[in-house]
Chains A and B, each alone.
Chain A
Amino acid sequence: MDLKGVEIKVHDMSLRDGMHPKRHQITIEQMQTISRGLDEAGVPLIEVTHGDGLGGASVNYGFPAATDEEYLRAVIPGLKQAKVSALLLPGIGTVDHLRMAHDCGVSTIRVATHCTEADVAEQHINLGRKMGMDTVGFLMMAHMIEPQQLLEQALLMESYGANCIYATDSAGYMLPDDVRARVGLLRDKLKPETEIGFHGHHNLAMGIANSIAAVEVGARRIDAACGGLGAGAGNTPMEVFVAVCERMGIKTGVDVFKISDVAEDLVTPIMDFQVRIDRNALTLGYAGVYSSFLLFAQRAEKKYGIPAREILLDLGRRKMVGGQEDMIEDAALTMAKERGLIQA
């Protein structure tokens, strides 16, 4: 398909989704340095918060190195052209967090729900729009339902005031045809002025292919993480995606060499381990499990002696959704009891 001349907006995830493999410990200074690099390379939109969004600081998801407010106030004033977005999961964050983020200068709010639960986002989407923010509805784990059901949920978010709707492949499970079916239907049936976005994970190495498939059928916002720093095997690697777009004539406004320098010189050095498709990340994509469960399952493996892969498969079978990180230790304990590794 000829996509020459198509303009898209890339949205960087390394300082939000990238908080997962960093156990939310990215320092304020690292946030500042990397965000300035992204800004300089021409990335128009950068997400900054706890990995689980505003208010994510918790025992359940991990306490971050600094508060959302400290990160946002440290990053936003240092940017020349890039804008900053924040993620909010109703049930974790509230409208109070949204007001705080707006006050810090966040211009885009992304309200995220499990793909079947759009109606819990009404109050947050309403408020984001009322405050004049670029307001995005973010439907997570979109592989779990059929395109028609996803459309119904997207229409709800659109009716609350979202001006952009995402099909989010939180598990990195989708293949290009899955993406085309979902994104294509959203593009056909939502208002022409509603933007469509796609957020991928690289667990089956489909990040780039899926994102291109999304652009083919009408997505104009694509999430990617510089250096691939994101949950699971990471998000669609930004620098690779930008290079592919350049070859195809898709306009991102991002400089290939500058963004690959940011990946190499600024993002890669802060990694605690190489974010890649190891057997557990592969399991996420293969079995359709929420990508940020990865490190929790690995820690449970260390503590209880149950292989992370088996824990992840169990969670997948039980259809766990994003946010159920507490069920990882619970599953490991139950399996350890069944196997006689700990006392019942």
Chain B
Amino acid sequence: MSKIKCAIIGPGNIGTDLLYKLLRSTVLEPVWMVGIEPGSEGLARAREMGLKTTHEGVDGLLPHVQADDVKIAFDATSAYVHKANSDKLNALGVMMIDLTPAAIGPYCVPPINLKEHAGKREPNVNMVTCGGQATIPMVYAVSRVQAVKYGEIVATVSSRSVGPGTRKNIDEFTRTTAGAVAAVGGAKQGKAIIVINPAEPPMIMRDTIHCLTEDAPDQAAITASVHEMIAEVQKYVPGYTLKNGPVFEDNRVTVYLEVEGLGDFLPKYAGNLDIMTASAARTAEMFAEEMLAGRLRFEPAAA
């Protein structure tokens, strides 16, 4: 069966981990890795794995897009350059999956709204943040049972798994995540907190989700919904585990999770990064299936 060809922009930890996942896909074929440093280890690694590479950024990829039939690109760089990358590739008919917190396209959290995106022909979808991918399915698991007036998530990650981009702009994490807790999770108001823990050996990502329901929570229905949603996420992140809860106290519903990664390129404790790359790969696969079935096509803009 033919596969949909992809490019990864950003040969760092995230881009490389994503590459490992795409290499296993039955519908996606990674063909280009794009960086900006000639001596990049990530580019060298991608070359060893058979990809074409450029160190001239997205501009180095553009001349090859049509000849190599690239249909989907993943941006694993930073929010600052994402829009420029996206505009250039969209113009050539390439769909963009955004792993930065730029959030210029609609948020995508696979078990919640992936199917909805499939029919919409959006040229750019955003993967929110690692904390968002880990927690928003739980907010939704409550809000699909009954109205949630306030959703709050606390993501605690190992210091070793937080890169310089996130550190330089940690506010973007809290803002983007809080926005998506409301927009995708279905809470009327959203709040996000991130805590970085330097313990050694590194701690596995922990996530706590607090929802305040409008009326007294239907405990049985919420508990069932939470378990169902966990099973959905486990399809692409097997280490997504309920540690405690749901706990009910008045109108508070709290779920305690641990997210262990697959350990593809990144260590297992970095479940926060794994859930991003796994969600992005899952999203791209669904779009690829639509493309292969002839239901989704993006045309290059008229020259």
Q: Which residues between 169 and 188 of chain B lie within 8 Å of chain A, taking CB atoms?
A: 169-171, 173-175
CB < 8 Å: which of A120, A329, A330, A333 contacts B170?
Answer: A120
- Cβ-defined contact, B199 with A334, below 8 A: no
Per-residue A-contact encoding for B154-178, CB less than 8 Å = 1, 0 else: 1010010000100111110111000
- Cβ-defined contact, B195 with A323, below 8 A: yes
Complex Cα spacing A324 to B167, Å: 18
List of A residues within 8 angstroms of B175 by Cβ: 94
Q: Which residues between 303 and 321 of chain A lie within 8 Å of chain B, taking CB atoms?
A: 318-321
B212 within 8 Å of A by Cβ?
Answer: yes
Among the 9-residue stretches B72-80, B241-249, B280-288, the one with 4 or more Cβ atoms under 8 Å from chain A is B241-249
Give the number of residues in B that approach A within 8 Å (Cβ atoms). Answer: 34
B119 within 8 Å of A by Cβ?
Answer: no
- Cβ-defined contact, A321 with B254, below 8 A: no
Please report whether the interface of chain B is mostly helix, strand, loop or mixed according to DSSP: strand
Complex Cα spacing A94 to B174, Å: 8
- Cβ-defined contact, A120 with B167, below 8 A: yes
Complex Cα spacing A138 to B77, Å: 30
- Cβ-defined contact, A330 with B152, below 8 A: no
A324-B245 contact given A91-B195, A91-B196, A117-B198, CB 8 Å threshold: no
CB < 8 Å: which of A92, A96, A119, A334 contacts B244?
Answer: A334
Give the distance to chain B from A154, nearest Cβ to Cβ, in Å: 16
Per-residue A-contact encoding for B198-236, CB less than 8 Å = 1, 0 else: 110001001010101000000000000000000000000
Per-residue B-contact encoding for A197-208, CB less than 8 Å = 1, 0 else: 000000000000
Find the A residue at minimum CB distance from B171.
A94
CB < 8 Å: which of B152, B173, B206 contacts A58?
Answer: B152
Give the distance to chain B from A240, nearest Cβ to Cβ, in Å: 33
- Cβ-defined contact, B196 with A123, below 8 A: no
B292 within 8 Å of A by Cβ?
Answer: no
A-B contact count (CB 8 A): 92
Give the distance to chain A from B144, nearest Cβ to Cβ, in Å: 20
- Cβ-defined contact, A329 with B247, below 8 A: yes
- Cβ-defined contact, B244 with A59, below 8 A: no
A190 within 8 Å of B by Cβ?
Answer: no
B52 within 8 Å of A by Cβ?
Answer: no
Residue from the set A90, A96, A318, A319 with the largest chain B CB neighbour count within 10 Å? A90
Give the distance to chain B from A283, nearest Cβ to Cβ, in Å: 19
Per-residue B-contact encoding for A73-103, CB less than 8 Å = 1, 0 else: 0000000000000000011101110000000
Give the distance to chain A from B175, nearest Cβ to Cβ, in Å: 7
B256 within 8 Å of A by Cβ?
Answer: yes
A324-B197 contact given A330-B244, A334-B243, CB 8 Å threshold: yes
Complex Cα spacing A92 to B195, Å: 8
3 tightest CB-CB pairs across the interface, nearest first?
Answer: A326-B208, A319-B199, A59-B210
Binding site for A on B (CB under 8 A): 150, 152, 154, 156, 159, 164, 167-171, 173-175, 191, 193-199, 203, 206, 208, 210, 212, 243-245, 247, 252, 254, 256
Q: List 13 A-B contacts (CB under 8 A).
A: A58-B152, A59-B152, A59-B210, A60-B193, A91-B173, A91-B174, A91-B196, A117-B159, A117-B167, A119-B164, A123-B170, A318-B199, A320-B197
**New contact pairs (14) apart from A92-B193, A321-B197, A333-B245, CB-CB < 8 Å:** A58-B152, A59-B210, A59-B212, A59-B254, A94-B174, A114-B197, A119-B164, A120-B170, A323-B156, A326-B154, A326-B206, A327-B208, A334-B244, A337-B244
